[in-house]
Structure 1
């Protein structure tokens, strides 16, 4: 009851402060700026609950009324919501440098993470150093090619587990097994060990990562009204602290053990410790923990989420599943696991991944950017300090861009040059410009390997013939049926 009361008081304060800010900004705007249109403060407060539950959908509805570039004013924060690829191009490409920094959600300030995070740091020498480490040490083609055997091993473990379930007639929690495969691959690259060895550990780690990602992405009243930072009315900062602390405790233990034993495993931890010994300003154990936090959360949550949605869409669309199986059978042989060298020869599988990312982007609103100065876009002034949000979910379902936008139709990408590398602004699930997700190359390899091998090795039915509502948090549980391998 006290929590509800705090939130009600917070909403009243937020509405009052918003009204004051809007009145003062209206006067200033008449003198100086042509700001984008947007809903009234009262409309925003009325929709605040829905904004908290499904912000991408609520913002899409508001954009239908106010346009593809829309201004929201809540408390002290001006947010510009963009729901058009032509306008998002202005942010990602034309004015990329002017929108290169992030607004900092208060949830990311726990353990001082925002000051050490490659995702949230402003453009700075430290940010450039971290990006270079990601691009050159972890996600370069050379590094990824060198770790193919490790991915192959983890893929075989995934398929063996699914095969065992098929023999017992048991359903597979697709999101959980995809998460286990992803996190063990990353933990072996980082620490030369599996983080997850059984189903209980998988659920534990998945819960930590998913809850942390959810907390960070939840609209937080503290971000709109500085006074509320003393209250934490939604408990977001408290929960974020809990989840980050759990991961940091694991990292601390592994780093301390490595330093104590002094044994070289030729993994990412060794690489970073060597850098820290050579240049303590560029890297130290604190920065190592924050980098691992970014990479593990981003590298596991999105991959497992996308794999789960792709499988749900395919099981629910037998025609698309049949086409995928036929392509795999003709290319690599039915029942065989996919090798990374096979991926370029599987255009329909590529189309399935793109179509899944279009309908179900892992970050529906992407990570927000910030205007470094006043910038003019599409005839409107984006004021300095404004938060820029790209509604990737809305762009992916825009009927002026896509035919039958809510239908799952991988065929729309066959013969199309559209990719997800930030060059085609109607499909940017990993962002674009200098802030594009550094883990994109690994994510795409993992998605094609896992999804292709799961559908080539097994037939699938929904458990109890029920299609779960993943949007509402229900996990995809499906029963696999082993397919005999081609000779």
Structure 2
């Protein structure tokens, strides 16, 4: 923290004259808009309000501004106009009435490494290429027919996760013959291999794979660099200098992941040359053979772009899924009564000596309520992915200038006191008689976003989350180690682009007798 503040001060000191000139040039335009923008805290000269984004939990700092300034807040982050949306009503107005002019994503300087922003579905500009990718995903990978056909793959890898947990527990003996396991890494590898089979038809790493550990570390670092406050984003003319070396570090760590994805693409390209009549084609085959849709997009997708698309699938399918499962298990471990209710439902629905199937998910209403409550409190992307306005807009009576970036604070919306009773407490029962879903249509809870750029993998994530959790809770009785209690369990957050537990979850799995 101290080094970051020192670096900001140093950068501002060096470039203060330039900044002052820019501020004076913009003053007239800023003054003309000032009466029509949302309320917000006073801005410091040059720095603006960037100190609200310092530290590991900017989503919480922004939430704490709501009692004073309301659900829509205006900030000046260096030279960047910023609006923060922090209530269900404000989010509903934004996504229902202003989705199109805000359809473009803000691209942090870090995400321009390897041209990730131009090739990926998540960051690509709203236009022909983005629409083409979205169509491919919705018709070739995430369509219900393909999701139904891939049920056996999900069940296979979640069963393998159970084996890994038993293996790790046996290798770390503790009281009663069972030791602790650190769950995040195991969950990540499970999700990574699962996604690998869905798109590449192959396993990627085994439990002891050195390459798998390196990839895990690289992807973890990518999430950190992507979410780290960067002075080059606050003052774009500093991008060439990269004063915090965030872009440099991102190029290095993302390069490890990109090179791995590129190796898969190269290997498959060579195979397809010699096997052009391959019968069972997967998602990677389809990308390699894509020739354009003949309408908006006429080009073949480059091998580099395919590598980025594959890498994005790894990011989205493994990082967010594994972090959410970790949060669910953490909440259950510190709420024994809730854990007991989930177990009772599993016994009632599944019955003795039976194996969890994906078809059982719809019958597990209490488990679904637990997942919803966890996503309400711990959305994987607490500030979603910021957007920006492509034209001046009138939003809720405010005149929002073109180029304004917008944070939708999903973490704050999940704690909106106008919607949720006792919003900071973990109470799955609130969803048992509720029609609220996380499909982007109920703005009280939008962990996957909403509108045109809602997460495409929502249905897949729903299946993986529930099947994995049901299997882990059915296969093991989970306990904290003797030095931990539900009351003292560390639930602090660590913010990258995704929201993880600061202290990775460790727990003791006791194999349940069927």
Alignment TM-score, normalising by the size of structure 1: 0.93
The yes-or-no answer on 1:274 pairing with 2:289 is: yes
Instruction: Map 1:167-316 to 2 at 5 A.
Output: 168=173, 169-201=178-210, 202-262=212-272, 263=275, 264=278, 266-276=281-291, 281-316=299-334
Give the Å deviation of 1:46: 7.5
Work out whether residues 18 and 73 of structure 1, in 8 Å CA contact, stay in contact via their aligned partners in 2: no
Deviates more, 1:219-228 or 1:159-168: 159-168
Name the residue aligned to 1:42.
44
Counterpart check, 1:318 vs 2:336: yes
Alignment of 1:143-158 (within 5 A): 143-158=146-161
Q: 1:253 to 1:215 in 2, by over 3 A?
A: same
In 2, distance between residues paired with 1:474 and 1:337?
Answer: 32
Of residues 423-432 and 104-113 in structure 1, the stretch that sits farther from structure 2 once superposed is: 104-113
Within 5 Å, give how 1:422-441 maps onto structure 2: 422-441=440-459
Runs of 4 or more off by more than 3 Å in structure 1? 1-7, 11-33, 43-47, 163-168, 199-203, 276-280, 334-337
- Displacement, 1:203? 3.4
- Structure 2 counterpart of 1:459, from 471, 477, 488: 477
Q: Work out the CA distance in 1 between the residues paired with 2:406 and 2:355.
A: 42
Q: Give the whole-Å Cα distance in 1 for the aligned partners of 2:125 and 2:511.
A: 49
Which whole-Å CA distance do the structure 2 matches of 1:31 and 1:6 have between them?
33
In the other structure, the counterpart of 2:96 is 93
In the aligned structure 1, how far is the partner of 2:440 from the partner of 2:69?
A: 26
Using the TM superposition, name which of 276-285 and 386-395 deviates more: 276-285
Q: For residues 444 and 2 of structure 1, do their structure 2 counterparts lie closer, same or farther at Cα, with a shift above 3 Å needed? A: closer
Q: How big is each residue's C-alpha offset from its partner over 1:183-228, in whole Å with a ceiling of 9 and x where there is no partner?
A: 0001112222222212454433222222212211222111111232
Q: For residues 273-300 of structure 1, give each alpha carbon's deviation from its aligned partner in whole angstroms, at most 9, with x where no partner exists.
A: 1215998714221221111122111111
Counterpart of 1:471 in structure 2 is 493
1:104 aligns with 2:119: no
> Which whole-Å CA distance do the structure 1 matches of 2:271 and 2:124 have between them?
33
> Which structure is higher in helix share?
1
Other-structure match for 1:125 = 128
Take 1:24 and 1:90, find their aligned partners in 2: how far apart are those partners?
33
Aligned length: 485
Aligned-pair Cα RMSD in Å: 2.5
CA distance in 1, matches of 2:459, 2:388: 26
Greater shift in the superposed pair: 307-316 or 202-211: 202-211
User: Retained in 2: the 8 A contact 1:166–1:482?
Assistant: no
| 1:449 and 2:449 aligned | no
TM-score if structure 2 supplies the norm length? 0.88
1:412 aligns with 2:456: no
